[in-house]
Chains A and B, each alone.
Chain A
Amino acid sequence: MTTACPACNTAPAALRVAELAEPNMALSVPGVSCAACIGAIERGLADVDGVDSARVNLTQKRVSLRTSLSVDDIVGHLAELGYKAFPLDAGIIGQENDPAGRDLALRLGVAGFAMMNVMLLSVAVWSGAADATRDMFHLISAAIAVPVVAFSAQPFFRSAWSALRVRRLNMDVPISLAILLATLMSLYESLNGGRHAYFDAGLSLTFFLLIGRYLDHRTRASARSAARELAALETQTAERLDGQGRALTVPIAELAIGDLILVPTGVRTPVDGRLESKDALTDRSFLTGESDPVRLTGGDTLSAGEINLGAPLRMRATTVGEDTTLRRMARLVEGAENARNRYTSLADRAARIYAPAVHLLALVAFLAWVLISGDVRFALNVAIAVLIITCPCALGLAVPAVSTAAIGKLYELGFLVKSGTALERLAEVDGVVFDKTGTVTLPGVSHLSEGLNAEQQGIALALAQSSTHPVSRAVQAALPDAIPADVRDVREVTGQGIEGRFDGQDVFLGRTDHGLTLRFGTDEVALGQIEALRPGATEAVTALSAMHLTPTLLTGDAPERAASIAETLGISDVSARVSPEDKHALIEQRATNGQRMAMVGDGLNDTAALAAAHASIAPSSAMDASRNAADIVLLRDGLDDLPRLFQIARNATRLSQQNFTIATAYNLVAVPIALLGYATPLIAALAMSVSSITVLLNALRVRAVR
């Protein structure tokens, strides 16, 4: 077998997949990028006792293992090898095989094989084979085509049947009818020595439309698996303290009311609860949009999802599971999301006109020819030719081809498209609403080195690097060239900053009334706001304005901060101190005025607005609920490519429309020929193949966008 299949010889690596034991653990390893990484990881893990097998999937950037070790051990081993790994949800394992995709690919392969063989026989008939030879060729074609149609076209038959059962028409009804009628009529003609058989047409229809179906499936499946992966990356564990004060890592689902929980610095609170520590400092911006941290004292209420900015805190759980504030707000948006699911895509709208029109046309042709010629067999032939020639390739193939190409291109640019109609909706918007905190700004410090001399920079760095606080990290990142000064007795003051002694003087880096401040003896240097613009934000806003997309800034934060950020970005339409309900209301109100808005936001306070907007985008740092509500997830930190997202969406929609036009143009030429009874199987095959290939090639142009 291998001699006839050159590809089989070059696939020894793939062969071993089947021999590997069933994996029981999967990890996401974003750092895997080349052959050397695959070798390093697979060899490194194979040397670890307790690992039976390890296999890297470079396409999905994952490692699957069969092992008796714990996930933490494996993460540790991978870290030693130099790769950062994230454990994936157990539910992901085993879903990689994608049985539905395999099934479609198999049907596609069978249809392709049959189509080519039958086409070969048809060429002989077209070029003049007659009488016994023609009949024999038709019968051989029938022997291939009938079982293949029965197998390969099943997805269309099933979908058509489920639509007909509820008395509705979908795209698959005319498709199934064309395939079935063409095959059955050709079978009858072949058995009775007829001149025309449409086996090749029936098979190529099946083949081309299966390509469309397969592309569609691949796009959806990869978006789904990537979205699931994002969800799996979230921390799903908490540190529960037992009676002796020992911390035990448990899944969040196992927490009960009254449990004492330890929340380390920089980690989100897992459930709602009461603060047990003396004081604490948390970031609540996801709930309120305020960028300032909130200072809490013992006994204060904490909501699930707040980030602990100060020293590790202890809290007692008061609400767990589905009742937490986080879950309640997530449920609120589900209603709004359903409204958007009712959006009808371009292809569906076209199908609604197309399906009845084609049936009507074929029926009219049949009746007219019965009346004119009185020959039912000829009339049926004409009707079938009409059904085949109006092949809905533009709908069944061209739209999936355009969106597959566009979504693939967007994925390369770091956009994860989660919804099938997202591109069409993005192309229709005429304004973009930005959330401020966490979306156009990140916690960070801008232009730090400008206000400080070298010595001060050294002190700031020495203080900052002794703390893991997000602001300290930002200070460190803002001082890449500084050399840390010799600061002694460094101590973190919870919720305020870091203090120490340098050169006989007290030094302090932290929060004062003037924002972030470096104190040096009695001198004070204000370092400005503890908020930096997301990279590329200004450029993105400028480019979007140039595309006639009016930017708006909405924030729950204070007006002065909103104004200063808006000015830097060049946004004139600003609203500050906006509640989540107001954000939602503003989007709705603009929609009633006929303005379609795209929403870019990350917090839970944006979720309702994200769901209500015509199209929505969330950064990957966003809360789970916001990412779920958004159509598109931004996988990169910068906003530079945001304008290209809109450009590609507009382009894709324009190409889809162009493809409809091309298909219509073919039909305008071919349908009259069919109606007049001049269509032959050769004309049908030409019309169908040429139109399918034209729309496919046109779809590929979407990748040419700069």
Chain B
Amino acid sequence: MNVLAFLIPVSLILGGIGLACFVWTIRTGQYGDPEGDAARILMDETPPDERD
């Protein structure tokens, strides 16, 4: 049963990391344009704001 002392905190921490990621995605507005994000991965040229 001692294994529980590790497993429960581990499961809570992993879940917490996932939750933190989710909060971050919401805060940075990453659900504003789902179709655009799906299309953008097909663009192979460098985005305009990163060109020299």
Contact = CB atoms under 8 A, between A and B. Distances in A.
A42 B32 contact: no
A17 B29 contact: yes
Interface in B23-40: 23-26, 28-37, 39-40
A15 B28 CA distance: 7
A271 to B, nearest CB: 38
A704 interface: no
Contacts of A699: none
Contacts of A11: 25, 30, 37
Contacts of B31: 105
A108 B37 CA distance: 23
Given A57-B36, A59-B34, A46 B48 contact: yes
B43 A5 contact: no
A49 B33 CA distance: 27
Contact of B30 (A14, A46, A53, A133): A14
A8 B21 CA distance: 8
A35 B47 contact: no
B42 interface: yes
Interface residues of B, number: 37
Q: Counting chain A CB atoms within 10 Å of each CB, which of B24, B35, B41 scores highest? A: B35
A133 B42 CA distance: 52
Q: Is the interface of A mostly helix, strand, loop or mixed?
A: helix
B42 A35 contact: yes
Given A60-B33, A120-B11, A5 B47 contact: no
A560 interface: no
Contacts of A7: 21, 25
A696 B12 CA distance: 29
B32 A43 contact: no
Interface in B1-20: 1, 4, 8, 11-12, 14-20
A11 B41 CA distance: 9
A140 interface: yes
B18 A16 contact: no
A113 B40 CA distance: 30
A94 to B, nearest CB: 12
Contact of A38 (B18, B21, B30, B39): B39
Contacts of B20: 1
B39 A34 contact: yes
A58 interface: yes
A52 to B, nearest CB: 10
A117 B11 contact: yes
Contacts of A16: 47, 49
Given A4-B18, A109-B22, A133-B1, A35 B40 contact: yes
A58 B43 CA distance: 14
B41 to A, nearest CB: 7
A106 interface: yes
A629 B14 CA distance: 51
A18 B12 contact: no
A358 B50 CA distance: 60
Contact of A59 (B29, B30, B36): B36
B17 A57 contact: no
B45 interface: yes
Given A58-B33, A59-B33, A117-B11, A109 B28 contact: no
Interface in A104-158: 105-106, 109-110, 113, 116-117, 120-121, 133, 140, 144
A42 B23 contact: no
A57 B29 contact: no
Contacts of B12: 117, 144
A453 interface: no
A2 to B, nearest CB: 9
Contacts of A15: 28
A96 B32 contact: yes
Contact of A113 (B4, B15, B35, B36): B15
Contacts of A97: 29, 32
Given A1-B17, A102-B29, A144-B12, 8 more contacts: A5-B17, A8-B21, A17-B29, A18-B28, A58-B39, A59-B35, A109-B23, A120-B11
23 contacts: A1-B21, A1-B24, A4-B14, A5-B17, A5-B21, A7-B25, A8-B25, A10-B41, A11-B30, A14-B28, A14-B30, A16-B47, A35-B40, A43-B45, A46-B49, A59-B32, A59-B33, A59-B34, A102-B29, A105-B26, A110-B19, A113-B16, A133-B1
Interface of B: 1, 4, 8, 11-12, 14-26, 28-37, 39-43, 45, 47-49
5 nearest interchain CB pairs? A58-B36, A5-B21, A46-B48, A35-B39, A14-B30
